[in-house]
Amino acid sequence: MEITINKIRKQKCLRVFFTKSSLQFVSASIVHFPSNYKLANLTKLSKSLKSVLGSSFYSFFLTYIRNLPDTHMRNYLSILFASFALFTQAQITVSLSDYGKIGDKTYIAIDTPVASSIVPTIMLTGANKTWNFASGVIANTYDSFMYVAPAANAPSGANLKILSSTIGQQYNQVDASGVKMIIDRSNNKIDGLNFKILSFPLTYGNTIVDSLHYYKAGTPTDFNAPMLATIGYDSVRAEIHLHDSSTCVGYGTLVLPDTSLSVLQVKITTVTNTNLYAHSAFTGWVNINSLANIQENQRIIEYQWYGKNTKGYMARALMDTTGQKAQNFIYRVRKITIPKLVAISPAVGMQTQNLDVHVFGLYTHFTQGSSLSVNVRLGASKLFVNSVTVINDTALTVNVSVLNTNQLGNYDVVINDPISGVLTMSGAFKVVPLPSLKALSPASAARAATHTISVYGISTHFKSDSSSFVANFYEVGALSTNVKVIGRTLVNDTFVKLQVSIDAAANKTVYTLKVGTSIDGLLALVDSFRVDNATGITINSKDESLAIVYPNPVSNYLNFDFKNTLPCTISVVNTMGELVLTERMGEAKKSISIESLAAGIYLLTIEQGNSIQRIKLIKQD
C-alpha cells in the first residue's frame, strides 16, 4: 500500500510506504519545501495528521513552528513525517508458511446469536484499525480444526483436508499461490468444483475474483433423491453459478478474549444462483427448487482476519444477506473453557423450610439467556423453585421450597442455560429432616455421683452454633435442681458429651433432657433419663434377661427372642461412647441388620419399662 500526502505541490510530495511487516520511511531528504511555502499550508498539513498523533501534538506543532526560520521548518517537517511513519502501525503479509499444514490442530469458540453491539467493530475497515472483541463475544460452543492428509479417494487436486464439527470436512488445494476450496458432494453428483478463497502473498488491498459454473444431469438416484422417481420424474439436472470476490479491506490489531495480534482483514462476498430441474414424460423439464427447498439466489458476506502463523483465520464473522447483521462469530481460543457449576451455598436444607440457595458457575453466561431454568431433583422427586434471581454471569440465587417433601437425600442442581447448555451439579443440595434428639446413653445413672452422658441429634447444630448451646434436665416440667449439667464437650454438630451431676437428694425417677441452639430451637427427649434407687431399675443378669440375643459374635443379622411383647428400646454404643444404632421394638421375635457396623466391641442395651439388660456385643467381618 502507498499513502501519498500531496496537496503541497504537484511534484513536491512525501511518501510513506508499508511493505510486508516492516515500515519503511523513504528518505526524508527527498522532501523539498520551497522557501515561500506558507504557514497556512503547513498548518493544513499538520491537521491531516491530527487524528493519528493527537490534538496535544497538533497544538505543540502550531506553537513551535511559528518561530522557526524556513530552513529549520523544512527540517522539522522531515522529522514530523518520520515520526508519523513510526507511529503508524505496520501491516503484515500472510503467505503459504502461515497457513495450516498436515498435523496442525486449532481450537475455536462459536458465538451465536451475535450481539448487535459488536457488529460495528466487525464492519470496521481500513488502515491501522483495532478490532476489539475482548468483551461482547460469548463462547456458546467449542470446536477444533484438524488438518489431515486427504484419503486416496479424495477429490482431484486436494492436498489438505480440514475436519471439524462446524464445517464437517473441507478439502483444500494449497500452494504458494494461495488456497482453493474444492467442493465434494459425490452423493449429489457434485464433485471436482473448486474456486480460490485466498491468494498468497496476502496484503492490504489485494482482491481475488473467481467464479464457477456447474452442470450435471442424471437419474433421481444419481442425485440421492429417489423420492423424485416415486412421483414420476425420470431425470434430474442441476445448474449452479457461483461468483466469489475476496478483498483485503483492512489491517491492524485483532483483540480476542485471550490474545491479540497483528492481522489482515478480508471481506468475502459470494453470490450463487442454483436451479434444480426434473423431467417427466408428462411435464417435460420443470424447475423443482421449491420442491427441494432450494433458494435460487443467495448472497453470503463474511469477514475473516488472518495473522502470521495462524494456520487459517483467527476470527470469522458470517453476516446476513444484507451484510448488516452477524449470524455467527467464530474466533480462535488458546484453551477450551467449558462452562460448569462449581459451588452452592447453603448446601443443606431442612424439611418445611424455604431458603435462598446461591449457585456459582465458572465460564457461565447467566445474564445472557432469556429463558434460563433451574431444577433441584432427586430421581423423580423435585423441589419447588419459587424464584430465580440472576446476580451476574457466574452467580444466581434460587429460592427453593423444601416444604412437604418426604424425600430426604442429595439432590442434583440442574441449570438449563440457553447459551451454556444444561449444567448439572450432582448431589449438591442435601435435604435433611428437622432437627431432633435421637437418643442419650447411658439412659440411667446413680445418685451422688458425676456421670458422662452422650447425647445424639439429627440435623442438629451443636458445634457450629456452640455459642447458643444449652442443655438441662427437667422434672415435672420444671428445671431440675438435683440433676444438673455442669460441663459439655461438643464433639460435632450431632454429638455432645454432657457432664451431669446427680445429688443424693434426687427423689424423682424419670427426667426429661432438653438441648437446643438458636438454629435448632429447644429439643426434648421426654422421660429419657432415670436415676437409680433401691426399688427402681433392675440390671438383669443373664438368667433373668429380657431377651435372648444371638448370635454373638455376629456378622450380619442380630436376632432377639423376647420374653414378652411389651415395647422396648434397643441401643448400640461403641467404645467411644457414640450411639451407632437405636430401634424401638414390640414383637416377640425380631432381627436387625448390623452389617454397616465396623468390626469391634459394642455395648448393647435393652430398655423395657424400668428394666435394663446390657450385653457385650462382638461384631466381626
CATH number, domain at 131?
Answer: 2.40.360
Q: How much is the pLDDT for 533?
A: 59
Q: Do 78 and 133 belong to one domain?
A: no
Overall domain count for the chain: 5
C-alpha cell at 118: 459488536
Q: Which of 56, 87, 118 is the last residue of a domain?
A: 87
Pairwise CA distance, residues 480 & 485, whole Å: 10
Q: Do 349 and 495 belong to one domain?
A: no
Q: Is 419 exposed, middle or buried (0-12, 13-18, 19+ CB in 10 A)?
A: buried
The pTM of this model reads: 0.52
Residue 437 forms beta bridges with which residues?
A: 457
Q: Do 131 and 239 belong to one domain?
A: yes
What CATH number has the domain bearing residue 470?
A: 2.60.40.10
Q: 611-619 and 568-573 as β-strands: parallel, antiparallel, unpaired?
A: unpaired
CA torsion sign for 31, 34, 35, 38 is negative
- Is position 463 within any domain? yes
Q: Do 443 and 553 belong to one domain?
A: no
Q: Do 242 and 348 belong to one domain?
A: no
Residue whose C-alpha is closest to residue 133's, from 115, 121, 125: 121
Give residue 103's region: left, alpha or beta (phi > 0; psi -120 to 50).
left
Pairwise CA distance, residues 315 & 261, whole Å: 11
Residues of the chain with pLDDT under 50: 1-58, 61, 71, 73-74, 77-88, 534-543
Q: Assess contact for 214 and 240: CB atoms under 8 A.
A: yes
Pairwise CA distance, residues 614 & 571, whole Å: 10
The string of DSSP codes covering 377-401 is EETTEEEEEEEEEEEETTEEEEEEE
Return the DSSP state at 153.
Answer: T
N-terminal to C-terminal alpha carbon distance within the chain? 86
Q: How much is the pLDDT for 426?
A: 93
Length of the chain: 621
Range of the domain at 504: 436-531
* Cα atoms found within 13 Å of the Cα of residue 451, Cβ hemisphere only: 22
Q: Do 378 and 398 belong to one domain?
A: yes
- Is position 92 within any domain? no
- Within 10 Å of residue 339's Cβ, how many Cβ atoms? 21
Pairwise CA distance, residues 314 & 122, whole Å: 13
Q: Which of 333, 359, 385 is the last residue of a domain?
A: 333
Q: Do 559 and 607 belong to one domain?
A: yes
Residue with cell 453459478: 241
Residue with cell 447458643: 468
CA torsion sign for 587, 588, 589, 591 is positive
Q: Do 299 and 365 belong to one domain?
A: no
Q: How much is the pLDDT for 214?
A: 81
Give, for 528, the enclosing helix (H) or strand (E).
Answer: strand 521-531
Q: Do 64 and 150 belong to one domain?
A: no
- Is position 338 within any domain? no
What angle is formed at CA 82 by the lines to CA 131 and CA 248, rounded to 5 degrees?
35
Return the DSSP state at 223.
Answer: T
Q: Is 116 exposed, middle or buried (0-12, 13-18, 19+ CB in 10 A)?
A: exposed
Q: Which of 51, 66, 87 is the last residue of a domain?
A: 87
Q: Do 368 and 284 belong to one domain?
A: no
Q: Do 247 and 391 belong to one domain?
A: no
Q: How much is the pLDDT for 12?
A: 29
Q: Do 177 and 36 belong to one domain?
A: no
- Is position 141 within any domain? yes
